[in-house]
Amino acid sequence: MRLDDVRQAFGERVQIHWRTFPLLPDHRPGRLATAATQEGRRRAAADEPRAAFVLPLLDTPLPASSVPALTAAKCAERQGAGRFQQFHERLFLAQFRDNADIGRPEVLCAIAQDAGCDMDAFRADYAAEGYQAMLRDYAEGAAWFGVSALPTVVFNEKLSLVGAVPVERYRLLVEWFLAGEPGGAIPLAPAPGAAAPGQSAVASPPTPPASDRAETTG
């Protein structure tokens, strides 16, 4: 939602590109919601009160891996930015509001269909191109931007902010990059969660010179 605020504030001057970064890249069957899961959800809801967070009941099945959902997201992205946005929003609600197991292919297909995806293309991409695209994002995030935690937002492939950062900081940085980085000094005081060359949603002007691009990764 904070990146949506940035999108609304800057319009076509900034583009946001999401990159996949699986926090559970392996397969861990049998994961169930615990009291710790509920507490983590409470903290997330406190950080972003506008989001639809619902505490899962104890022992609710959790996804065994992040890979299926992120692969599905890349498949939706292949059908256009609008389709990806629809899928992205529904995927978030499925996991955090409905507490659905988004590691299951049948759940992901239902979300894709609800988002208006071409299901023949979606299923074909899921078996090949979507997975490869997810792996490329993962490798780039780790190797190029040093991503190790989510959420991470990378600006212009130069600066990353990690964690629940106030939207005002995002706006300050976007304005600075769009102005050509005046003074050469980042307009933010060092703060917990701020890191240099970094990482996973990307905000960038659509057709800028290299020095004016503002990227974020997520």
- Give the model confidence (pLDDT) of 52-105 as tens digits: 899 999 999 999 999 999 999 999 999 999 999 999 999 999 999 999 999 999
What CATH number is attached to the domain comprising 107?
3.40.30.10
- The answer to whether 134 and 186 are in contact (CB under 8 A) is no
Q: Are residues 30 and 132 in the same domain?
A: yes
In 3D space, the residue among 21, 15, 53 whose CA is nearest the CA of residue 37 turns out to be: 53
In this structure, the answer to whether residues 37 and 139 fall within a common structural domain is yes
Residue 208 sits at φ, ψ, to 5 deg, of -100, 165
Q: What is the domain count for the chain?
A: 2
Instruction: Give the mean pLDDT of 146-162.
Output: 87
Residue that is last in its domain, among 143, 169, 203: 143
Give yes or no: residues 33 and 112 share one domain: yes
The parent domain of residue 52 ranges over 24-143
pLDDT at 108: 98
Q: For residue 167, which of 127, 201, 205, 133 has the smallest C-alpha distance? A: 201
**Same domain for 154 and 139:** no
Distance CA 98, CA 121 (A): 26
Whether residues 74 and 134 share a domain: the answer is yes
**Tens digit of pLDDT for each residue in 96-124?**
999 999 999 999 999 999 999 999 999 99
CA distances from 38 to 24, 42, 71, 115, 117 (A): 18, 6, 26, 28, 32
pLDDT at 174 over 80: yes
Identity of the amino acid at 3: L
CA 146/CA 27 separation, integer angstroms: 23
DSSP state of 186: -
Residues 96 and 202 in one domain: no
Verify that 83 and 155 share a domain, yes or no.
no
Give the global pTM: 0.81
